């Protein structure tokens, strides 16, 4: 059921006489569960709509006929809880987080609606047969599915859920229903790697191109694994072996079906794949192709700067301190040197920050906390002196809000550092070069 909170003027909904407070109870005679039903039927041209009148509680079913693209124009009161995870995965990152963080960070969502609308990965273990049919009926495609392994016994073991072994039959039904899937495997050393990963890749590739790809991502290991199964960290040799297996299978398939996370290339000390390998970068939120896309954008933006005698000149010289994770430092150092060379008056320096909050095995920039950044910057200032601007990656903070994972706000960081000129890059490689090629006044509190 959906309770209407707004009816857009001159929309189809307004023409039907719908009002704020009315409740939609069914589409085409099928019970309305949540806004996914609305999103589907809003794209249809002919259907029936059952509405409960806010004034007398009576239900009425009306025929809806509209042109393609014509809006229903309705907004609704938030309803229902998100579908949560029923697993106890041996590699679960949420189980490895310390106490005292934002409450929302401990929510283990496993919601196919959020997979369709936001690209979140789901395991499908909490899905009934009716739920599977609903996905097909509403054409919720593409979905992002955490497969991990197609070996039923091994999947039950890794997810610690006795219902986890039917993933292939679920994928088969979704594909037959016209649903496209992006899949992932969180690779646990000595469990679902090697021959098991090869089996998973081959069994999923049978459904290509409906199953578009299989991401291979390393297990995130924090220092808070007390009471959890031991998982070894990966090293250069291990990463090299995994990448070799990926290359072998992709050559066999004839397409880049397996997509390894950037972290494997960093660990193996091997160059990233070209942009062509990643296509439309559809798994970039999974840390796959992010480095290639960032560097390509940055070098293109650097080349596009207006130059005299091969260099772009700042209006005023400046010293920029660029905060990043340990992994990013290895892949962006050459870019920073090139920026210093091409932008006259710029002295930019990377500050790789070790992750003390989650542990030094966590090396990505997006999991840096405000606490660790503040401590690293203060140590830098004490050793090397002042700088004119501090540049942070936008993914270190909550989307649409300037707060870090640890709860520190941007204003609190400025106060702790006694420094105001903190610039946030939310626009990838383009934003990186734009910040370095412009000058803002140094401000102190």
pLDDT the model gives residue 345: 96
Residues in Cβ contact with 8 at an 8 Å cutoff, skipping those fewer than 6 apart? 14, 71, 73, 74, 75
Report the run of H or E that residue 299 belongs to, with start and end. helix 290-304
Euclidean distance between CA atoms 199 and 202, whole angstroms: 5
What is the residue-wise DSSP string for 212-228?
EEEEEEEPP--S--TTS
pLDDT digits (tens, 9 = 90+) for 131-152: 999 999 999 999 999 999 999 9
- pLDDT at 424 exceeding the cut of 60: yes
- pLDDT at 400 exceeding the cut of 90: no
Per-residue tokens: 425: 């890059």
Nearest to 32 by CA among 89, 75, 79, 98: 79
Q: Are strands 312-325 and 343-353 parallel, antiparallel or unpaired?
A: parallel
Residue 409 DSSP one-character state: B
* Torsion sign across C-alpha atoms 69, 182, 293, 423: positive
Partner residues linked to 186 by β-bridges: 217
Per-residue tokens: 437: 């090629």
pLDDT the model gives residue 442: 45
pLDDT digits (tens, 9 = 90+) for 350-391: 999 999 999 999 999 999 999 999 999 999 999 999 999 999
How far is residue 140 CA from its own chain's centroid?
Answer: 18
Residue 48, SS3 per DSSP: strand
Percentage of residues in the chain having pLDDT higher than 70: 98
Per-residue tokens: 360: 């030094």
Q: What is the mean pLDDT of residues 20-41?
A: 93
- pLDDT at 418 exceeding the cut of 70: yes
Q: What is the mean pLDDT of residues 3-26?
A: 93
Indicate if 295-436 has the same CATH topology as 2-76: no
pLDDT digits (tens, 9 = 90+) for 183-230: 999 999 999 999 999 999 999 999 999 999 999 999 999 999 988 999
pLDDT digits (tens, 9 = 90+) for 162-193: 999 999 999 999 999 999 999 999 999 999 99
Q: If you count them, how many residues does the chain have?
A: 445
Q: What is the CA radius of gyration of the chain?
A: 25
Pick the CATH number of 295-436 from 1.10.150, 1.10.10, 3.40.50, 3.30.70: 3.40.50
Strands (E), 121-225: 121-122, 143-146, 181-187, 211-218
Residue 390, SS3 per DSSP: strand
Output the average pLDDT for the chain.
94
| Residue 201 φ/ψ, nearest 5 degrees | -60, -45
More confident call, 399 vs 411: 411
**Residue-wise burial string across 86-106, b where 16 or more C-beta atoms lie within 10 A, e elsewhere:** bbebbbbbebbbeeeeeeeee
Give the Cβ contact number of residue 148 at 10 Å: 27
Dihedral of the alpha carbons of 346, 352, 356, 361, in degrees to the nearest 10: 160
More confident call, 78 vs 315: 315
| Residue 83 φ/ψ, nearest 5 degrees | -75, 125
Q: Are strands 143-146 and 30-31 parallel, antiparallel or unpaired?
A: unpaired
Q: What is the mean pLDDT of residues 250-268?
A: 98
pLDDT the model gives residue 69: 81
More confident call, 159 vs 78: 159
Domain spanning 94-288, CATH architecture: Alpha-Beta Horseshoe (3.80)
The single residue listed with the structure tokens 């090293």 is: 235
Give the Cβ contact number of residue 43 at 10 Å: 11
- Asked whether 159 and 148 are in contact (CB, 8 A), the reply is yes
pLDDT the model gives residue 441: 54
Per-residue tokens: 228: 């959890």
Residue 36 DSSP one-character state: H
- pLDDT at 443 exceeding the cut of 80: no
pLDDT digits (tens, 9 = 90+) for 336-346: 999 999 999 99
Q: What is the mean pLDDT of residues 237-261?
A: 98
pLDDT digits (tens, 9 = 90+) for 283-323: 999 999 999 999 999 999 999 999 998 899 999 999 999 99
Q: Where along the chain do its domains lie?
A: 2-76, 94-288, 295-436
- pLDDT at 248 exceeding the cut of 60: yes
pLDDT the model gives residue 445: 38
In CATH terms, the superfamily for domain 2-76 is PDZ domain (2.30.42.10)
The two counts, helices (H) then strands (E), for the chain are 15, 15
pLDDT the model gives residue 68: 84
What is the residue-wise DSSP string for 248-285?
HHHHHHTS--EEE-HHHHHHHT-PPPPHHHHTTTTTGG
Q: What is the mean pLDDT of residues 45-68?
A: 92
More confident call, 158 vs 82: 158
């Amino acid at each position: 059921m959906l309770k209407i909170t707004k009816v857009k003027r001159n929309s189809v909904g307004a023409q039907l006489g719908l009002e704020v407070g009315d409740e939609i109870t069914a589409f085409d005679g099928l019970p309305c569960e949540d806004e996914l039903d609305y999103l589907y039927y809003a794209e249809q041209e002919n259907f029936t709509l059952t509405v409960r009148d806010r004034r007398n509680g009576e239900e009425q079913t009306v025929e809806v006929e509209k042109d393609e693209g014509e809006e229903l124009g309705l907004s609704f009161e938030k309803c229902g809880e998100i579908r949560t995870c029923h697993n106890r995965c041996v590699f679960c990152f949420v189980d490895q987080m310390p106490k005292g963080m934002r409450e929302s960070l401990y929510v283990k969502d496993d919601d196919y609606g959020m997979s369709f609308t936001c690209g979140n990965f789901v395991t499908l273990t909490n899905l009934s047969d009716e739920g599977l049919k609903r996905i097909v009926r509403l054409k919720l495609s593409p979905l992002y599915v955490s497969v991990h392994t197609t070996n039923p016994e091994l999947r039950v073991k890794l997810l610690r859920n006795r219902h986890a072994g039917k993933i292939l039959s679920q994928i088969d039904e979704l594909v037959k229903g016209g649903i496209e899937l992006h899949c992932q495997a969180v690779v646990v050393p000595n469990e679902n790697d090697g021959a098991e990963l090869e089996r998973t890749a081959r069994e999923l590739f049978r459904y290509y191109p409906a199953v578009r790809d299989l991401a291979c991502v390393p297990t995130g290991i924090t220092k808070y694994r007390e009471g959890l199964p031991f998982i070894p960290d990966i090293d250069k040799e291990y990463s090299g072996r995994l990448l070799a297996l990926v290359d072998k299978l992709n050559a066999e398939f004839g397409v880049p079906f397996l997509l390894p996370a950037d972290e494997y290339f960093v660990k193996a000390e091997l160059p990233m794949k070209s942009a062509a390998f990643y296509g439309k970068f559809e798994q970039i939120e999974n840390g796959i192709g992010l480095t290639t896309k960032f560097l390509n954008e940055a070098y293109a933006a650097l080349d596009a700067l207006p130059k005299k005698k091969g260099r772009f000149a700042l209006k005023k010289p400046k010293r920029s301190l660029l905060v990043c994770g340990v992994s990013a430092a290895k892949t962006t150092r050459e870019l920073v040197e090139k920026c210093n060379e091409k932008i006259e008056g710029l002295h930019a320096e990377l500050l790789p920050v070790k992750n003390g909050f989650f542990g030094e095995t966590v090396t990505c920039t997006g999991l840096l906390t405000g606490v660790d950044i503040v401590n690293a910057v203060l140590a830098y200032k004490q050793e090397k002196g002042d700088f004119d601007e501090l540049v942070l990656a936008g993914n270190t903070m909550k989307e649409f809000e300037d707060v870090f994972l640890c709860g520190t706000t941007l204003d609190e960081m400025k106060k702790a550092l006694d420094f105001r000129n903190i610039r946030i890059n939310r626009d990838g490689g383009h934003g990186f070069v734009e910040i370095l090629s412009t000058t803002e006044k140094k401000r102190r509190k």
